Structure 1
Amino acid sequence: MDLTKLATEKRNPDTINIDELSTLEVVKKIHEADLGVASCITPVLSKIGTVAEKVVEAFENGGRLIYIGAGTSGRLGVLDASECPPTYGTDPNLVVGIIAGGDYALQHAIEGAEDDSELGKKDLQKANVTKKDVVVAIAASGRTPYCLGAMEYAKAQGAFTAAVVCSLNSPMEKAADTSITVVTGPEVVTGSTRMKAGTAQKLVLNMISTTSMIKWGKVYSNLMVDVQPTNAKLKQRARNIIMEAVGVSEKEAEQALKEQNGNTKAAIFQLVTGVSPDEAITHLEQHNGRLKEAIKNYT
């Protein structure tokens, strides 16, 4: 393979002498490079929107969002997936992160895992991918065999496939139903794609999952009303959300939250409408958990 043709592997002319700079000057160079990352995403916003719409469609039809990748890219997918249950109260199996080499690879390099296309297929086979799912493969180079194998298997099962890559005209870009190609260019340290490329990938994954959750009714106004109050901070956040949404005292918010066994969304509906705890749950279920829709249609 000729990595020199990849933009992410080229040398950055602005940092040729970075090893001769002072500590502060090095920090400034990294910061300057990072400042341009967000603007690199602007040209592909419509593609991100397309993928998010497909994810919502998958959720509504019993499907899942599955991230898959190797190395840094795989870790970012696992990170985004693992943050959905506490933030949005989702089932851990709704948004899934798969990394080449398994959980051990989250902290250790697994030799050859990313080069094994058959492993990518096997990992998705183990995940029981179906046509209901959306599979998002992540790789800065856009040529990782593990991801390509996974995409081939996903497409064979009828799943919608997307790629999040940082190199133009890559094999993954060509293989995906929709490719989000964010061209971040040469890294501060040549080939260290955990930097600009990784930052861009994290931003894209944030957009996909957050937009999907908003459109799926997991957010009321801009409040995370499906937050799981599993620790002191999140319990206080849940109370604050209720107070903000309804305009009640902290004591009233805490009481409603207690009556709803920590269900922030149901506590809000109960306080807004004056119904009983059980009725609040019933009305929300009738509107698939969409709080604003349930309130508007309450009679």
Structure 2
Amino acid sequence: MAASLAKVARRRIADMVFKAFCVVVTGVALAALAAILWSLLTQGVGGLNLDVFTLSTPAPGSRGGLANAIMGSIMMCLLAMVMALAVGILAGTWLAEYGGGSHYGSLIRFLNDVLLSAPSILVGLFVYERLVAPFHSFSGFAGSVALALLAVPVITRTTEDVLSLQAATLREAGVALGAPLSFVIRTILWRSAQSGLLTGALLAFARISGETAPLLFTALNNQFFSLDLRHPTANLPVVIFNFALSAYDDWRRLAWAGALLIAGTVLAVTILARIVAREQRRS
């Protein structure tokens, strides 16, 4: 009897220690997050004004903003998402509906998981060797390809998971009516899973919107406003990287303002993805 009571007491103590450890670790993580957000707000809000959205990046001591970098980031991210959605949705569909159970499908799934965790700088170096060095020129198009390679595995995994959750009766009903599986996928399964596909696209966009390393190797930067992605293209991550390391206060203020813009964009996209995912679960 005494031995069993001692065992129960030890288990309760171990449980209390574990709970306390979890609370402390959670508190540390939340404190670090709060410190980062506080720094972004206090330093970034002061640098936000109309010039940030209407003027291009300036020379030191001159009036300027981030309009060229904002536009460059938007163009490259949108082009990257177009490429990533086309490849990712088709690859995820193939894994879920056709070859997911084969050895080749298992290999593709494994490689996709590896690419999910691959350092972005390696992707940038790969694109540099294939699309920058052979043409002797940095370009926004190369930057978009690098960002697309980072977004594809996210969309592929999300598409496979979402399609795998669709009821088998949807496939059986379509096939029973004489429709080929490809038609069933396009008109029934994709439509049924559109909320999940949108969630995957939003998560992929949030993943690539703040990437700096691959753009240093591909798009580089451009001090002037340009809509031509065939040449070096301004973008927020690289501008933040360059301005934050400078000795000029006006450049550092713009760097904080750009960091706040990216953080706000990622936060908004993440919240939207959560809302879409919640609506999908309700339906």
TM-score by length of 2: 0.30
Q: Which has a greater percent of helix?
A: 2
TM-score under structure 1 normalisation? 0.29
Higher RCO (CA 8 Å, separation ≥ 6 residues): 2
Between structures 1 and 2, the one with greater strand share: 1
- Structure with higher Rg: it is 2
